[in-house]
Structures are given as C-alpha cells and as structure tokens.
Amino acid sequence: MKLFLNCCGLLALITIWLPTTAQIDPPRIDIARDRWGVPHIFAKTDPEVAYGLAWAHAEDDFKTMQLTLLGAKGLLGRHLGKQGAAIDYVVGLIRAREQATRDYPAKFSADYRAVLNGYVQGLNAYARTHPGEVLVRGSFPMAETDVIAGFILSTASFSGIDRALTSILNGTMPKAPKTDVAQAQSSSGKTEHVDQLIHSFAHSLNHSLPTGGSNGIALNSRRTADGQTYLAINSHQPLEGPVAWYEAHLCSEQGWNILGGLFPGAPTILHGVNENLGWAHTVNYHDKMDVYELKLNPANRNEYWFDGKWLPLEAQSVKLRVKGIPVAIRKKAYWSEYGPTMVTKTGAFALRYAGLFESRTGEQWYRMNKARNYTEFRKALEMTAIPMGFNIVYADRNDTIFYVTNGKLPLRDPAFDWQKTLPGTTSKTRWTQFHPLNDLPQVVSPRSGYVFNSNNTPYHSTDPADSPKPENYDPTMGIERFELNRSIRMGEMMAGNQPLTYEQFKRIKYDLQLPKKLSYMTDVNPLFALNPADHPDIAPLIETLNNWDRHADTTSRGAAVYAVVYTHLKDVLQKAGGSPYRPLTPAECVEGLQLTKAYLLKHFGTVDLPLGRVQRHIRGSVSLPCAGVPDVLAAMDSKRHPSGVLRAEQGESYIELVRFRKDALPEIETVNAYGASTHPDSPHYTDQMNLFVNQQTKKMTLDKKQVLQDAKRVYHPGL
C-alpha cells in the first residue's frame, strides 16, 4: 500500500511537470464576426477558444502581435534596429526568458497551460499559412514561454524599469545614504525622485506633463434610479500600438463567456464583463521598484560588498542582433543579490521589483475571466500575480461593488528610507516577502453606493467617510496621496446621495469639464495668471484662456489654445530637464503661448478657432473633430500631425459600459477608437470612429444565440 501511495504521489508530480498539449480541431471552432467586425469565438473547450482568439486577432493585427512577442523572444532588434535591440537587452538584463523557462510548467495549473498551448497553436497555425506576414525569419513557432516572457517584460515596463535605467545611464540616479540604516520613512508619500521613477504618466512624455489616465466607476442599487448595478470600464491607453485595446468575445462550454479588451499577445480578456461580473483597470503609482547602490571592490570591480564580504557579480553576455549590422553585438548584463544590475561610470545600481518573482500574471487574469461571483473573483486576486499595479473597480449582478489598489507589494523594513536610493550592502534591504491582498487599501459595497478610481489616491475611492484611511496601511508601500483633475471632478459630480439614472451615469463618464483650480502633476495654474496687458504680443491668447470655462468640447476656443500650449509645454519641460512636479514659471508660460501663436498662425492663419478644427481623430483618409484635453474625465492627449493639426493619440480608447440585472445577462455597450482591424483595406479600419467622437456606443451581448443570429460571417480558423 505504501509503495502504491508513493507511486501515486510520483505520478501526480510528473503530471504537474508535463507540458499540457491541447487537442485542437479547428473545424470545431466558430469565429463569428458581427457588423463591426468584432470576433466572437465559440468552441467546446477553453483551449479551442484561445486558439480561435489567436487566429482572429492575427487576422486583424498580426504585425503588432509579433512586435510584442519578438520583444519577449529577444528578437526585436532584427526588425526595428537599435530601438528594438534596446528592448532585447532589457529582456536579457531582467532574465525574462530564463524566468519563464524556470517557472513553466511547474508554477502553472494544467487548465491554464492548456489555454496557453491552444493560443500558441493558433498563432503558429496563422504564421504557417501566412508566411508573407511574418516579420522576422525564424521567429516562429512561438512557445508558451514566449507568451509568459511577454507578460514578464510588460510587468517590468509598468514597474518603471525604463525610467530607472534612463536615470542610471544618464548619471542622474541619486546616491544611497552614506550609512546603511536611515531614518524611518514618513507616510506622506514618495519623494520627488522616486515619484518620477515610478509614475507612469511621464513614460510617454519624457518626464513632462501627464497624459490622459484612466477611469473605473461602479454604482450599486443605493445610487442607481432603477436599482441595477452600473460599471464603466474606461482605460485611457494609446489608440494604436502594443498597448492599444483589441475587443473580443470569448465563449466556451466550460464556463468561459466574457467580452472585453485585451492587448496584442494576451490569451485572455484583461478587463471586461462576463455573465455575472466585470471589472475595470486603472494604473496606480505605489512604490513598485527599489533601486540600490552597490559598493564595488576597488581591487576587482566584478565584486560587490554584501553582508560583510565581497561577492562576485554574475555576468551574462546578451547577444543582440541589430537590423542593418551583419554581426551580433554582445553586451554584458549583471546580476546581484538584489536582481538586475547596471555598472556605469557613476556607480553600480541594482533594481528590485515584484515582477522578478512573478510569472503567473496571465493565469490570474484567466481566473478573473472565469470567476462567477465576488468570492471567486477575490480568490483570483489573492494570487497577487498582477504585480505591476493595476487598480481594480468591480461590479456584479449581486449588487456588489469593490475597489482595491491592486498589486504585489513587498514587505519592507521600516528602518530604511524606501523613498530614496537604498544601500546595496546588506540583506536587510533585500526584501523577499509580499503583502497579502487584505493588506492593500480597498473598499467593498460602501454606504455611499459607489466606488471609482481616476489614477488618484486610493484614499479617495468613494465618499470621504467610506474611503480607506492612510493611517491603516503600511507607509513603506509608498501609496500615492495625490488627486488629479478627474478625481476632483468625480468627487464634485458624485457628491450627495441622489440616485442616478443610467443616462446621468453615462454623462459623468463622458464629462469634459476641468475643475476651476487645476490639479496636474505639473502646476499649470500660472498659465492662467498672466496679465494680457503685460504681454501685448500674446494678449488675445491670454484673454481666451482667462475667459475659458474649462469645458473641452469641440466648439471650445479656450480648449483649442490650451491643447496646443499643453503640447508645447511638454517639449519645454523636457528640454529643461529636472522634475516635472513643480509649478510652471511665468517665462515658460509666455514661451509656450508664443509658440502656440506661431503654430496656429502657420497652420490655420488665425489664433481664434474651435478645438474641433485643431484636434482631430485621424486614421487613413478619415479626419474627424475630436473633443477632450488631458485629464478631463473623457480625456484626450494629442501630438502634432504633419498636416498641422493635433492628432488624437492617447486617452479615451476602448470603452465598455455595463448594467447588471439579477435575472438576465448584463446589458453591454462598447466602442473602440477606430475599429476591429488595423488593415487599411478593411471596412472595420475606421468604422467606429464616428461613434467614438460623438460619444456614442454599439450594443453588444454575451448571448451566443443572438450573436450567431446577427453575425455577418461565421467561419472556422484556416477554413
């Protein structure tokens, strides 16, 4: 009997370690395209659905999917040249591929391994049958570990590694304190330097003004006029590229039925709604990454001092293939007790963030996809396997609403000042454990009947009386304490306890009003304190701004001036360097308005015109007036277009609005910025643009029978 039990245990262990190969029969997979080209994937099993998702997404945007996975494979330099090679080096530096190989399959469940396998089978099948679309020869087939490495790379990016490496390489990373132990940290939030390091607003603006942000809003029956539960999923992402949303509906006979958004290379929905519940994500800014200064041995710079002795720096040679260069380039990547390490002329610095210890990010999203109620959803969150810091705003058919500033946060020794560069000489600063979900700021079904987040502090996530209190949480987590224009405006609109109709809820989500006193990371209020009499050359622009009601619809002349000057001020701050978290100077404001005047006269012949003429939603031959400025609830940030207008670039993107009913499927309406396809010859390249700019949506459903009845085309992958 003992031998039998031992054999059973060995068999179970072997089963855990064996890769799971999903048996896929493409004729059993239905891809139903609706009138908007959105794919609805139907199959008997979850792996078959994942196969269908990979195939359908590749039909619509195979190029971007490859860019994501080429980076994960360390092959992006072969396609993009030096820019891609920089990402390939980071993949080697953080050992993303080694981590994926080490953890897979041991740390993954059998059912998720089967989903991953089905997904890569679908992706590889598409590549085999469309060889002319493959960007880099030899990059296929893809493996499950490539998808996992992609998540690991994304985690590093969202944790702030690009900003940290930039600071280290340009010599601006502050030194660690002279002593190993510093004063205990204040609970007032991050210092200026580390705020810059982890604040992802600035990642696309090169340390300048913040971009659009995101919103998640949930109301339960205490605040809704019809007693239903409302959810607004409103992430503000780039409108194109590797982190632009793709919409899909996934439905199997194994309990997977969800509609929402995902990024290229993801095998599940990342935020959306299933038959029972849904959630929105917004980015948060708690302390995701620590930087350590190492003490190198003067006699041997390949050694560093740690816990009273010299240890060797681990060194690996990262092989970089760069387009246009016939031979491979090799660059060393170092590793210390803390993690990835950079050795420069100004010193040696190591990086440590939770993603170095977590590869199951995709599996947690899969568990969230499959959850049937709040209890199961919370169990999925207890994995704390999405380490990059995405807030969650949740609602369900049982009238539960929930907010948590989600992430994987280390347990840090309060004797050290985690706001600064840390001494890299002691294991006391090398954390190894993490806070459980219950330690994070959160609120469940508050008396106020609503929760929200607009990238602001979690200590304002509902009515002030019901919001989490900072004194109840570990100050070493570095939880953000700031408000933004959107959170201030949300507080204004949700004040009181009056029930809201669904139409009122939608008006809040689509609001275009800035508060009177602006609350950006960079204080732009000095822009509105200029006296036109002191600056006659730009007096009309100053008067326009002073008379602006802070509303950003397409007819607003004040919004037009503000959108252009904001674009110029981003450049001004970038050139000035230093911290963006300060007030603009009067000189910067004057310079920005002078540049705005010159720009408007050059491209439009006047400084008096509405926002809709200046800011446009453009794709191909379609150009439409576009509302919104950065940090209104319906935010939009734009960049200069060769035609002279400002082209909408980031902000309002994929929008999903949901009403939950206890006795029926949820009512869903969505819109995406352009359409389902990235191919210019597709009718779905631009077909949602009119809806998007007019704050309209399309009706969607999780009802398989209805989808198939209304579908414009139903087919099988490859057939």
Domains of the chain, by residue range, sit at 1-478+702-719, 525-651, 655-701
Is the predicted pLDDT of residue 266 greater than 90, yes or no? Answer: yes
How far is the C-alpha of 177 from the C-alpha of 417, rounded, in Å?
9
Q: What backbone torsions phi and psi does residue 388 show, to the nearest 5 degrees?
A: -80, -5
**pLDDT tens digit string along 521-570?**
889 999 999 999 999 999 999 999 999 999 999 999 999 999 999 999 88
**pLDDT tens digit string along 480-529?**
999 999 999 999 999 989 999 999 999 999 999 999 889 988 899 999 99
pLDDT at 191: 32
**pLDDT tens digit string along 412-434?**
999 999 999 999 999 999 999 99
Mean pLDDT calculated for residue range 271-293: 97
How far is the C-alpha of 149 from the C-alpha of 145, rounded, in Å?
6
Measure Cα distances from 416 to 181, 292, 526 in Å. Answer: 6, 12, 37
Residues 627 and 482 sit within 8 Å (Cβ to Cβ) = no
For domain 525-651, the CATH architecture is: Orthogonal Bundle (1.10)
Going by the DSSP 8-state scheme, the letter that residue 380 receives in this structure is: H
Mean pLDDT calculated for residue range 319-346: 94
Is the predicted pLDDT of residue 2 greater than 70, yes or no? Answer: no
DSSP secondary structure, 189-239, as one string: ---HHHHHHH-GGGGGTTSSS-----EEEEE-TTTBTTS-EEEEEE-EEES
> Any idea of the CA torsion for 25, 27, 28, 33, to the nearest 10 degrees?
130
Same fold, 1-478+702-719 and 525-651: no
Is the predicted pLDDT of residue 192 greater than 90, yes or no? Answer: no
pLDDT at 589: 95
Is the predicted pLDDT of residue 615 greater than 60, yes or no? Answer: yes
How far is the C-alpha of 199 from the C-alpha of 459, rounded, in Å?
18
**Candidate from 1-5, 410-414, 673-677 with smallest mean pLDDT:** 1-5
Q: Which helix (H) or strand (E) holds 571?
A: helix 557-576
**Residue 389 pLDDT level (bands cut at 50, 70, 90):** confident
Within a 10 A sphere around the Cβ of 366, how many other Cβ atoms? 24
pLDDT at 149: 98
What is the assigned CATH class of domain 1-478+702-719?
alpha beta
What spatial distance separates the first Cα and last Cα of the chain, rounded to whole Å?
52
How far is the C-alpha of 702 from the C-alpha of 249, rounded, in Å?
8
**pLDDT tens digit string along 194-214?**
233 223 323 332 333 444 579
How far is the C-alpha of 590 from the C-alpha of 585, rounded, in Å?
9
How far is the C-alpha of 194 from the C-alpha of 405, rounded, in Å?
19
How far is the C-alpha of 360 from the C-alpha of 367, rounded, in Å?
11
Q: Given the DSSP bridges, would you call strands 246-252 and 39-43 parallel, antiparallel or unpaired?
A: parallel
pLDDT at 581: 75
**Residue 8 pLDDT level (bands cut at 50, 70, 90):** very low
**pLDDT tens digit string along 573-603?**
777 766 667 889 999 999 999 999 999 999 9
| Percentage of the chain modeled with pLDDT above 90 | 87
pLDDT at 199: 31
Q: Which residues contact 621 (CB under 8 A, 6 or more apart)?
A: none
Is the predicted pLDDT of residue 189 greater than 60, yes or no? Answer: no
For the chain, give percent helix, strand, coil, nearest 5. 35, 25, 40
Mean pLDDT calculated for residue range 286-314: 97
**Residue 20 pLDDT level (bands cut at 50, 70, 90):** low
**pLDDT tens digit string along 135-154?**
999 999 999 999 999 999 99
Q: Which residues contact 102 (CB under 8 A, 6 or more apart)?
A: none
Higher pLDDT, 114 or 211: 114
**pLDDT tens digit string along 37-72?**
999 999 999 999 999 999 999 999 999 999 999 999
pLDDT at 195: 30
* Angle, in degrees to the nearest 10, between helices 110-129 and 361-370: 100
Average pLDDT, the chain: 92
Q: Burial, 602: exposed, middle or buried (Cβ in 10 Å; 0-12, 13-18, 19+)? A: exposed
Q: Which helix (H) or strand (E) holds 303?
A: strand 300-306
pLDDT at 577: 67
